[in-house]
Amino acid sequence: MASVSTTTPGTDWEYAPAPESREIVTIQPEYNLFTGGEFVPPASGEFFTTLNPASEEPLARVAQAGEADVDRAVAAARQAFETSWGRLPGRERAKYLYRIARAIQERAREFAVLESLDNGKPIKESRDVDVPLAAAHFFYHAGWADKLGYAGFGPDPRPIGVAGQVIPWNFPLLMAAWKLAPALATGNTCVLKPAETTPLTALLLAEVIAEAGLPPGTVNIITGDGSTGAALVGHPGVNKVAFTGSTEVGKQIQQAVAGTGKRLTLELGGKAANVVFDDAPIDQAVEGIVNGIFFNQGHVCCAGSRLLLQESVADAVLDRLKRRLATLRLGDPLDKNTDIGAINSRQQLDKIEGLVAAGEAEGAQRWSPPCRLPAKGYWFPPTVFSGVSQSHKIAREEIFGPVLSVLTFRTPEEAVAKANNTPYGLSAGIWTEKGSRILWMAGKLRAGVVWANTYNRFDPASPFGGYQESGFGREGGRAGLAAYLDA
Ligand code: NDP
């Protein structure tokens, strides 16, 4: 499949194809569940198929874990907590985490290609963002494992026990690392359920974990659909639930966990404002806007999906933004020049199309650069809506696709009021050359993460999490350790 430039005809630069080879990856026809340190067939005997969303090619059949499998995985995790991993001193746990981190680095190309095949994201993102950050997460938490007594949680903070962890499809390996690394560093054992459409890198990570020699049952990876996730979070043997995904499912999980004594952290949706003032460096801001909403096809919970432009520069910024979007290349995720890959699933594409139709019906102006979409697979062109008002559905609901809603403001107070006019509160961006204005804005924005003159920057040392319907609890940094300690 060739990458297709969105460039206007006549100004097109012809790029030669630059495909990353998929030879490095061996995809097995069928994957079992990783429980008790080995791959075991599901009790039900049921499997489902995971696809390449860029071509709709079936990649593998993957085990569907049922209640008996969840039981077995939780029992294995309990045993490891009580007899092996839970008894290791921090300095020993650290060795295993360093080993996993190094193995991810050694097999980085393999992880990156597999991630792009199963998820549809461009190889330059899986190679330069997802995989290095996943390794960094294990390195960072390995460093904490023997220093927990100095982290401000008392001299001897204890782990919670068995963690049940459910993750989404937008950053499959990275989310697995965000969940596993802090849980293991603090001495917990884990049962992780990856998303149904993107299980393959978590299963490759299971292989790495087995090779790293962690005591059997320390990490269990069980694949399946939402019913597997529900069985895991509802299992009485789980002491701590960690979930990343939609607000709707987050609410169901909160209800399921209420009154059980289980600890819970939820990292849910977002509808972040990316605010550009008239004194911002416009070219830099345009790059930040593009990175904010078109990175990972907009399948990002903290995406800058609402662009707030100060009225005096709105036309100039929009103009430059459109010119920049015309240079983005959409197509084969394995091509190293591709900027925009495939939408992860038919279901997600339907959701994006539905919300975009609502935006048009409500009167916002839709614009996309000229763009030919590949015939097979799930694709959506980069899209900008101007003339958006706060009551429009596209200004309120998480689209989770490459769709930007543009609003305007006149004063900083109005920018704050509009930015905070959302049930979410995960992230925000500020573009201005005035440091004082950045500090003033950051203090007023109700968002867990505020970026200034940059966007979508992640670091394992920096806590990440939300307010309101974006969930609660933090991942990363010292704050992230607290979620896995009985402190
Ligand atoms: P979900 O919240 O449904 O999925 C996230 C994870 O939870 C998946 O592993 C899923 O399994 C699992 N799951 C589903 N139902 C339950 C349940 N009742 N109990 C426990 N676990 C469950 O997100 P979707 O993939 O369906 O995406 C829907 C929308 O959610 C997107 O359009 C987007 O707006 C938003 N979203 C937000 C994310 C974020 O990071 N904030 C991430 C992903 C989606 P399975 O894969 O089988 O469904």
pLDDT tens per residue, range 375-420: 999 999 999 999 999 999 999 999 999 999 999 999 999 999 999 9
Indicate which atom in ligand 1 lies nearest the CA of residue 426: 41
Dist. CA 123–CA 341, nearest whole Å:
9
pLDDT tens per residue, range 263-312: 999 999 999 999 999 999 999 999 999 999 999 999 999 999 999 999 99
Dist. CA 114–CA 88, nearest whole Å:
33
Q: 359 to each of 125, 143, 272, 405, 434, how far by Cα in Å?
A: 29, 47, 17, 9, 34
One-letter identity of residue 5: S
One-letter identity of residue 146: D
Active site residue ranges: 267, 301
Query: What pLDDT was estimated at residue 12?
Result: 60
pLDDT tens per residue, range 310-329: 999 999 999 999 999 999 99
Which of the listed residues 64, 235, 246, 248 should we mutate to test ligand 1's pocket, taking the one with most ligand atoms within 8 A of CB? 246
Indicate which atom in ligand 1 lies nearest the CA of residue 198: 46
Nearest residue CA, atom 27 of ligand 1? Answer: 246
Nearest residue CA, atom 29 of ligand 1? Answer: 246
Query: What pLDDT was estimated at residue 5?
Result: 52
Contact 288, 457 (CB under 8 A): no
Instruction: Tell me: pLDDT of 2 over 90.
Output: no
One-letter identity of residue 104: I
Name every protein residue with a CB atom under 6 angstroms from any ligand 1 atom.
166-170, 193, 195-196, 225-226, 229-230, 233, 244-246, 249, 252-253, 268-269, 301, 348, 351, 398, 400
Which of the listed residues 48, 50, 64, 166 should we mutate to test ligand 1's pocket, taking the one with most ligand atoms within 8 A of CB? 166
Mean pLDDT of 165-173: 98
Query: What pLDDT was estimated at residue 46?
Result: 98
Query: What pLDDT was estimated at residue 15?
Result: 83
245 CA distance to ligand 1 centroid (A)? Answer: 4
Nearest residue CA, atom 13 of ligand 1? Answer: 226
Query: What pLDDT was estimated at residue 394?
Result: 98
pLDDT tens per residue, range 12-62: 667 899 999 999 999 999 999 999 999 999 998 999 999 999 999 999 999
229 CA distance to ligand 1 centroid (A)? Answer: 10
4: part of which helix (H) or strand (E)? strand 4-5
DSSP conformation letters of 373-403: PPSSS-----EEEES--TTSHHHHS---SSE
251 CA distance to ligand 1 centroid (A)? Answer: 11
**Model confidence band, residue 11 (pLDDT cutoffs 50, 70, 90):** low
Indicate which atom in ligand 1 lies nearest the CA of residue 248: 2
376 CA distance to ligand 1 centroid (A)? Answer: 25
166 CA distance to ligand 1 centroid (A)? Answer: 9
Query: What pLDDT was estimated at residue 65?
Result: 98
pLDDT above 90: percentage of residues in the chain:
96
Contact 226, 347 (CB under 8 A): no
